[in-house]
Amino acid sequence: MAIVFMGTPEFAVPSLQALHSRFGVALVVTTPDAPQGRGLRLLPSPVKRAAMELGIPVAQPERLRDEHFLEQIRQLRPEFIIVVAFRILPPELYTQAWRAAFCVHPSLLPKYRGAAPIHWTIIRGERWSGVTSFLLEQRVDTGAILLQRSIPVPEDATAGELHDLLMPLAAEVAVETVEGLRAGTLVPIPQDEHSASTAPKLRPEDCHLRWDRPAEEVRRWIHGLSPEPGAWGSIAGERFRFLRARAYPEQLLPPRSFRIQEGRFLIGCMPGCVEILELQRAGRRAMRVEEFLRGWRGPSSGTVE
């Protein structure tokens, strides 16, 4: 009754730990070690580190269609292949599971299919989010729904904060999905294509803030990209990442202009303005605006690009 788990980032780690604790995981599949940091040292993914701590064998194929890797999966004859934040699986891989191959996705499918569902949930101002387990099929994130759990999105939450709320919920859903499929109590429900929306990977140009948007929309972009990849703008030729903000409907200053006064950092939008609460200078750590302003030696007003 082998379980094969596939994942890469920190988001997938609690799911791996919960599944291994409850059922035992026979093999973990993750991405090859990648160069990171200034020295470009080859470092393992968070999922690989967790698997090593748990004593689970790890496979790191460059190609998921590699015949040697596929034969390794065939020999395991897995009951389940479970995917949490990994790559797109080819049919010749996910069909090796004799009971089910399923994914746990951090959105309320069919909403936000794609690579960045948590970011787009915040950017679009959704009041509810959650996780969905669904059967894998050839079209990405379109398989029949097995189990779904929802939570309210906290007011003013960032993508990082929503990520941390959904991470343990994904682990619970992964375990409950295995239990339900084994017990025969889960009935797959086709997704409603009329309610579907996408959450494409964010491009570098998406992260450059547009100040010609309404203030509340700018705030959502700042929070939706925080802490990574980070929404950015330039002041006096210096690039900043803006990580947290508050929106005001009043036009306190002209669009694309900024003012630093009495401990506040305001930027004009169209209409309204945002007050920056947390930011990061290039090559520096993130800091609250109060700390930043104590060391700021630049202009107190001007234009933001």
Q: Which of 83, 88, 79, 118 is nearest to 12 (CA)?
A: 83
Q: Which two tokens stand for residue 73?
A: 């999966």
pLDDT digits (tens, 9 = 90+) for 80-91: 999 999 999 999
Q: Which of 200, 123, 111, 132 is nearest to 159 (CA)?
A: 123
For residue 195, the model assigns a pLDDT of: 96
Counting Cα atoms < 13 Å in the Cβ hemisphere of 37 gives: 6
Q: Is the pLDDT of residue 168 over 80?
A: yes
Mean pLDDT over residues 187-192, rounded?
97
Mean pLDDT over residues 71-86, rounded?
97
Helices (H), ranges, the chain: 13-22, 46-54, 67-76, 91-94, 117-123, 159-183, 215-224, 289-295
Q: Is the pLDDT of residue 1 over 90?
A: no
pLDDT digits (tens, 9 = 90+) for 218-273: 999 999 999 999 999 999 889 999 999 999 999 889 999 999 988 999 999 999 99
The DSSP symbol for 208 reads: B
227 in Cβ contact with 243 (< 8 Å): yes
Scan for tokens 């960032």, then name that residue. Answer: 158
Q: How far is Cα 124 from Cα 112, in angstroms, rounded to an integer?
A: 10
Q: Report which residue type is found at 113.
A: R
* Rg of the chain, C-alpha, whole Å: 22
Q: Which domains does the chain have, with CATH numbers?
A: 3-195 (3.40.50.170), 204-303 (3.10.25.10)
What percent of the residues of the chain are helix, what percent strand, and what percent coil, each to the nearest 5? Answer: 30, 30, 40
Q: List the 145-152 sheet strands across, edge first.
A: 58-59, 27-29, 3-7, 80-84, 100-105, 128-135, 145-152
pLDDT digits (tens, 9 = 90+) for 196-212: 999 999 999 999 999 99
For residue 88, the model assigns a pLDDT of: 95
231 in Cβ contact with 242 (< 8 Å): yes
Q: Which two tokens stand for residue 233?
A: 């703008």
For residue 93, the model assigns a pLDDT of: 97
Other CB atoms within a 10 A radius of the CB of residue 172 amount to: 16
**Confidence label for 40 from pLDDT (cuts 50, 70 and 90):** confident
